[in-house]
Structures are given as structure tokens and as C-alpha cells.
Structure 1
Amino acid sequence: MTQYDDFLDYLYECELSENTISSYRYSLKEFFSKFTEFNKTNAIKYKQWLIGCRKSKTIALRITALNKYADFIGRPQEKLKRIKIQKQLYVENVPNDEEYGRVCEYARQHNQKAYWLVRFLAGTGMRISELTKLKGICLIEGCARMHSKGKQRLILIPKNLIEDSKEFFREKAADDPLFLSRNGKPLTTRAAAMQLKSIGCKAGVRKEVMHPHAFRHYFAIKMLKATGNDISLVSSYLGHSNIATTAIYTMRTKDEQVNLLNSQMSW
């Protein structure tokens, strides 16, 4: 077994989330596809390559993965300096009400599984990784309990969503996964993302808003408006450990900021 394999085993032992482990795995795989040896010189070259073709957030994730690996193999001197990421003061790529209605209507008529995929994401604010773990019991209890990073998160499912979807999920036993792939296995996050992208394209909705997390953003914005900007409550719904993370949803979107600036600029 290689150090790379040992590192992946170590990540699982640390009880990191599947998404984090997947991100670290991809980062190391990408690094070793370009370099045969892990050292500071190659790490710096990799960082420079990333700066030339990746977004700041992606670069930060890759550096974090490499630094974690450097610590694991006992060579902290090989770690890279982190890059500074400007704090984002708006949310981007969120479907508006018209787009949400359009994709729901198209999916309802042409792809029922995609329809309920969208409805559950937008109706609960759950992450796509959480949705793929849903089982029939959640429709009985009205909630889903998720475990990640040593913490438990309770996701509430609205009564109307349960009632509306009852017919579609009528054959699901308590321990059955709610969403399955074509081969009958639990739906993967990748397959779910591809399905959303496909249905959005067919419905004529902007492709940049047809990613799973966009509907979590949509839920957050709608809930804040519905609750009179009760950040504490919405933070609880979203499972944020830091309320400041939720506060970004109280701000205008980038498009709203640009439109407001353009409409008011007269000097």
C-alpha cells in the first residue's frame, strides 16, 4: 500500500465528510498526475499552475489538501502558504422564482424523479450529499438525521412536501433509499448534479443556476424573507455552525447589486 492509500485511510479514520475526502482525493490525484514526487518545489509549481487556471476557492481547497498530506507524511516543511480569499458579499447563481417554477413544471411533466429532486432540495435546504442519503423513514418521521464530522444534524421536511410526494414514494419501505439511479443503486451526488443540469437545459433555465447547491441558496433566501430575516432560525434549518455564514443570504445578489447601481447612478 502506498503513502497515498495510507493517507486516504487516515482521512476516513479522522471521520471527515465524504465530500471533504473526495476533494482531498481529487487534489492529490491531480497533483500526482503532474509530478512523480511530492516536495516543496513541485508543490509550488502546482500552486502556480492552479493560479493560472483555477478560481481562488478551488486553489485554497487544493492547497489545504496538499498541506494535510504533508503533515501526514511527517514533512510539514513542504507545506504551502495559503492564498487570501476576498470575503464574498453576495450570493451568486441562484434561480429566481420564474426559473424555479419553470424547471419544476418541466420536470413534473417529463421527469418525475428530477422533479422531486428539485422539490426536496429547494423545500428543505439540504445539501445534495444529504439528499442522496434520505430513506423512506424520513417521510414517516417528517425529518432526517444526518451524521457528519462528529455532529448530528436534523433536517426538517415540510408536511406539504411529504403529502405531495406520497404517491411517488408510495412503495418505499422505511429503510429504502428515496432516490435511486438507473441501475437501482442509491443516487450519487454526481449523477444528481448531472440530472439537474440536463433538466435545466431542457427547461431553458440558465445552466449556472442548475447545480444542487443553488437550490440550497434558493431555500435560504426564501426562508429569510418568509421569517422576516430571522437569521438564527434559518441558520438552524441550514445546519450552519456559524451564524455569519447565514448572514450572506440577507444581502442582495450580485445581479441585484449591479442593477441597483445602474438604476441609481446619476452623478
Structure 2
Amino acid sequence: MKIKLTKSMLKSYIDEFIEDEVMDEKASSTYNKYRKVVSDFVDFFDKEDVAKSDLISYKKKIVENFSTKTVNNYIIIINKFVKYVELNKKGEYNSTKAKTYVSDYRLKVIKEQEKTSIENVIKPEEFKRMLSKAKKTGNMETYMIMKIFGYTGIRVSELKYYTVENIKESKSKKYVTVFNKGKERSVPMRGDLRRELLAYAKDKKIESGTLFPSEKKNDGSMITERTVERRILKICGMCRGIDLAKAHPHSFRHMFSIQFLKAGGNSTELARILGHSDIKTTEIYANTSVEEKKKNVERIKY
């Protein structure tokens, strides 16, 4: 039975679809993104009946306004949402069926040239300058956050697992357990970083819970990811000569990955630390940047 989509039908399933994503234990930032993408998708249609051609028109619109990577992320979310609606209307929805079901409304992702290296990554010397600036200006919370990112390679959404309890346990366990997309992994903890984090907690009189509590909420919850990003950007802005495009948490993750491999680690070990399910995602860090390739070419002598 083929389901004919309508705007009102799609709209009626948005909340249910998002709730299903919440139950799948996705990060709050992820399902908030899903809600925005799906809501914008439904609002795009100016008539009740929705045909495949209308979805293609939507795709053309986002292609004109976003990068290929963002467009493909949107398409993946939209395809997932449309499958959810169709299967529920048929009374056949379950997670197994959703993985194999192919919708007639399915949009194709855009082929993107595979990246061979990571560009615009913060350099170790820039990292040191930002740490120094944060310390000198009394921004110790941002200093400690940047240190965690730079020496662990975690995602900003995983910072919440760096609690006083978990830091203390890492003395015997040698790692901190984090969760992402329902998957558990162990991130090695350096002894010097552990000691510095515990000294920071003692100085701030933080005896339990997150090391970085929100002063606004005053309920023990951690500062928001957006606050973390803004504070890192602020410190970068104080450091003359460092490109602001590098001032984001993921840049520290890239830097950590590159330095881990340079220090003798291998891609398999790094994939486990970073939580990559596909080794190809990790191997990109083994490739030199365009700038490094240029330097290598210039070293050739005949």
C-alpha cells in the first residue's frame, strides 16, 4: 500500500518522531536539530498534497543555501522522518523494518569528494597560547575545559561525563567512561590532567557532580555547549594571529587526533578513543594537510 503524503499528515507526526529520537537516547542537541530540520521541511510546502517533486524542490532550496555536508545531513534526517511517517500510517513501524524499508519519496544524498586531510586545525603552539591567555586572564574554567578537549579528544557533548566522581575513579581505572549515541567507550586519562582537574575542583569547592556547573541555573547542571563554544571563541579572540575559525571544541579533537598519531599511536587505537565506528573516519588524521604537503614538495632537491 502506497502512502500519499500530505502537509498536515507530516506535521502531525513531528512530535512523535522527535520523542522516538529522545527514547533512542540521542543527545539533546541532536534531537533539537532534528526538530528544526523536520519543522522547516514541513513548513516549506505551500499546499496540502506533497509529491516527490515537492521534496526535490525542497532539496534544490537547501542545496542553494548550505554546504554539501549540511545538505546531506538534512537529507538523511528527512528520509528518516518520511519513512517513520509512512510506516506508522501502514501500522508497520519498528526499528528493524525502518532499517530496510525504502520509501518512494527517498531523496538521494549529494556525492561529495572524499576529504584526504583535515584543514584549519588549531596547532599545538596555538593551543598553548590559548591556555596561557585563559590562565593569565583568570578564565580557569575555560582553561580546564580546553585542557580536557586537548588531552582527551572528546566531543563537547561528552564533557558532562567529566565529573568529580569520574575523575577520582580514573586514578585506578586509568580512563573515564563516556557515552555517545548509546555507545560506551573508555577515554584514557593522563595522570597530570587528573591531578590538575581535582586541584581545580578543590579550589572551586566542587565536591561532586560536574566540574563546570551553570551559575544561572544553580541546580548542579553543567553549563551549556553553546556557552563552552562562546568562551573558547572569546579566548581565541584575545590571542592575536589565531584564526577564529579554529576556535571550536571539535578543532581540539582534530588536534588531539593528529598529535596522537604523531606520538606513535595507530588508527585502530585512535578510533576506539574517539568512538569512530568506521576506521576510514579516523584514517583521515593520518594524512597531511595541504600546507604540510606543500612543505614536503618544497623539500625535494634534485
Match of 2:179 among 147, 150, 155: 147
| 1:211 paired residue number | 248
Give CA deviations for 1:120-166 in whole Å, capped at 9, x if unaligned: 00111111100134211121012322233332111222110111233
Distance 1:201 1:165 in 2: 25
CA separation of 1:42/1:193 partners in 2, compared to 1, >3 Å: closer, same or farther?
farther
Structure 2 residue matching 1:77: 3-state secondary structure:
coil
- Retained in 1: the 8 A contact 2:27–2:157? no
| 1:23 paired residue number | 33
Which segment drifts farther, 151-160 or 120-129?
151-160
- Retained in 2: the 8 A contact 1:134–1:179? no
- Retained in 1: the 8 A contact 2:152–2:187? yes
Structure 1 residue matching 2:104: 3-state secondary structure:
helix
TM (normalized to structure 1)?
0.89
1:242 aligns with 2:278: yes
Q: Which runs of 5+ in 2 are unaligned?
A: 1-10, 88-102
Aligned length: 264
Give CA deviations for 1:157-215 in whole Å, capped at 9, x if unaligned: 211011123322112233x1111234144122122112111211122321111111000
Give CA deviations for 1:60-95 in whole Å, capped at 9, x if unaligned: 000001101100110732221121122110012211
Q: Which protein is bigger by CA-based radius of gyration?
A: 2
TM superposition shift of 1:252: 0.5
Match of 1:96 among 89, 104, 123: 123
- Retained in 1: the 8 A contact 2:161–2:177? no
TM superposition shift of 1:34: 3.4
Which segment drifts farther, 182-191 or 195-204?
182-191
Distance 1:81 1:234 in 2: 31
After superposition, where does 1:1-267 map in structure 2 within 5 Å? 2-35=12-45, 39-74=51-86, 76-110=103-137, 111-142=139-170, 143-170=175-202, 171-174=205-208, 176-183=209-216, 184=218, 185-204=221-240, 205-226=242-263, 228-261=264-297, 263=298
Which segment drifts farther, 144-153 or 104-113?
144-153
Distance 2:183 2:200 in 1: 31
Q: Which runs of 5+ in 1 are unaligned?
A: none
Distance 2:154 2:265 in 1: 19
TM superposition shift of 1:18: 3.7
Distance 1:131 1:42 in 2: 41
Distance 2:73 2:62 in 1: 11
Question: Alignment RMSD, CA only?
Answer: 2.3
Amino acid at match of 1:172: I
Structure 2 residue matching 1:73: 3-state secondary structure:
helix
